[in-house]
Amino acid sequence: MEGRKAFGWAARDTSGILSPYSFNLRKTGSEDVVLKVLYCGVDHTDLHQMRNEIHNTNYPLVPGHEVVGEVVELGSEVNKFRLGDLVGVGCIVGSCGECLSCQSNMEQYCHNKIFTFNDTNKDGSPTRGGFSSAMVVHQRFVVRIPEKLAPDQAAPLLCAGVTAYSPLKQFMGSNKVLKAGILGLGGVGHLGVLIAKAMGHHVTVISSSDKKREEALKILGADAFLVSSNAAEMEGAANSLDYILDTVPALHPLRSYLSLLKVDGKLIIVAAVPKPLQLDAVDIILGKRTITGSFIGSMEETQEILEFWADKGLKSFIETVKMDYVNEAFERMERNVVRFRFVLDVAGSNLE
């Protein structure tokens, strides 16, 4: 059975162009939260799926997985939230609840996880994301937005923020100042800089050009800036970093970045790259280096990053736009012409 009518913007084909679209939400279950969408972040993964570059897209596709909204209806067994609460929804809206990952608060690694969009709900209906007026989500996959956090500021934390926080959390409480590298200075990268600095790390931003040097050092507070195309700079920084958070969502060579790591250093890949990355085994063997991946974060970690952000008084660098600008926003994001994350003012937009 279908629920209330909703309005959003959807991609119809591999061009990825979004346009108005109406649909019915799934029926509200006993543990479901219905939220009016207020804001939604704009992510590279949205673009990949809009163009059918990953995950075999089913059209029409309503993207959006950094969703902030207001609770407008509750299922009869919901006990975590009240009407009017400000809440968030990230990259997943379901999992099996029974596997080891689910039982270990790592539901993002469940083999039966349900993505926020371009997936199928347990009732067989398609999942649709936050580029829409409303959503129905099981209470387990909804988080509370802290009172001290503005809703538009919270949106990027629900994917980009937790994607950086989850792998960096392992370094919290270190008894020495860690030398961190943040590769790429987009939505995830700029949040990675802020999180690593707030954890007390010495942060080097690594970028392919000098364009973002001033932003990295003066706006985000990074300690150093390294241009990866400058051989002399890269050679001078060899064997200097404890870890690198690789946030680049496009094909890039790993060899030069691995050379920056100390013995036992870690290269942590968090971006979905549409084509296979390549490496030379010697580059990791001779330095006892590790290449590892991390996928978003758990629901527990998603709540943690929101609280961390509020407690530390951190600020996301966002550009808020209306839905009728969304196609231009994706075009600018692809050219890396945004500081540093677009957020859609969904509630303030005409979606029809």
In the structure, what pLDDT confidence band is assigned to residue 15 with cuts at 50, 70 and 90? very high
Inter-axis angle of helices 299-312 and 160-168, to 10 degrees?
90
What is the mean predicted confidence (pLDDT) over 89-116? 97
* pLDDT confidence tier of residue 92, bands split at 50, 70 and 90: very high
Structure confidence at residue 272 (pLDDT): 84
Average pLDDT for residues 143-156, to the nearest whole number? Answer: 97
- CB distance 131 to 326 below 8 Å: yes
Q: Decide if pLDDT at 14 tops 70.
A: yes
**Mean of pLDDT values over 28-46:** 96
* pLDDT over 90 percentage in the chain: 89
Q: Is the pLDDT of residue 116 over 80?
A: yes
Mean predicted confidence (pLDDT) in 223-239: 96
pLDDT at 186: 86
CA atoms within 13 A on the CB side of 273: 15
| CB-based contact 148:310 (threshold 8 Å) | yes
pLDDT category at 30 given cuts 50, 70, 90 is very high
Report the mean per-residue pLDDT for the chain.
Answer: 95
How much is the average pLDDT of 130-148? 98
Pick the CATH number of 165-293 from 3.40.50.300, 3.30.70.20, 1.10.10.10, 3.40.50.720: 3.40.50.720
Q: Residue 54 pLDDT > 90, yes or no?
A: no
CATH superfamily of 5-159+297-345: Medium-chain alcohol dehydrogenases, catalytic domain (3.90.180.10)
pTM score > 0.75 for this model?
yes
339 — pLDDT class (breaks 50, 70, 90): confident
Residues 138 and 93: beta-carbon distance below 8 Å: yes
Spatial distance between the Cα atoms of 119 and 140, rounded to a whole number of angstroms: 18
Asked whether residue 161 carries a pLDDT value surpassing 90, the answer given is yes
- With bands split at pLDDT 50, 70 and 90, how would you rate the model's confidence at 232? very high
Average pLDDT of span 31-44: 97
pLDDT value at residue 268: 98
pLDDT band (50, 70, 90) for residue 330? very high
Q: Please determine, for residue 1, whether its predicted confidence score (pLDDT) is greater than 60.
A: no
Q: Where are the domains of the chain?
A: 5-159+297-345, 165-293
pLDDT in tens, 242-293: 999 999 988 999 999 999 999 999 999 999 888 899 999 999 999 999 999 9
Residue 62, pLDDT above cutoff 60: yes
pLDDT per residue as tens digits for the range 289-313: 999 999 999 999 999 999 999 999 9
Burial of 63 (0-12, 13-18, 19+ CB in 10 A): buried
Q: Phi first, then psi: what are they for 174, rounded to 5°? A: -65, 145
pLDDT, one tens digit per residue, over 190-223 is 999 999 999 999 999 999 999 999 999 999 999 9
pLDDT of 274 reads 81
Residue 174, pLDDT score: 82
What pLDDT is attached to residue 58? Answer: 96
H-state helical runs in 112-226: 151-154, 160-168, 187-198, 213-214
Q: What is the mean pLDDT of residues 4-20?
A: 97
Burial (CB count <10 Å: 0-12, 13-18, 19+), residue 337: exposed
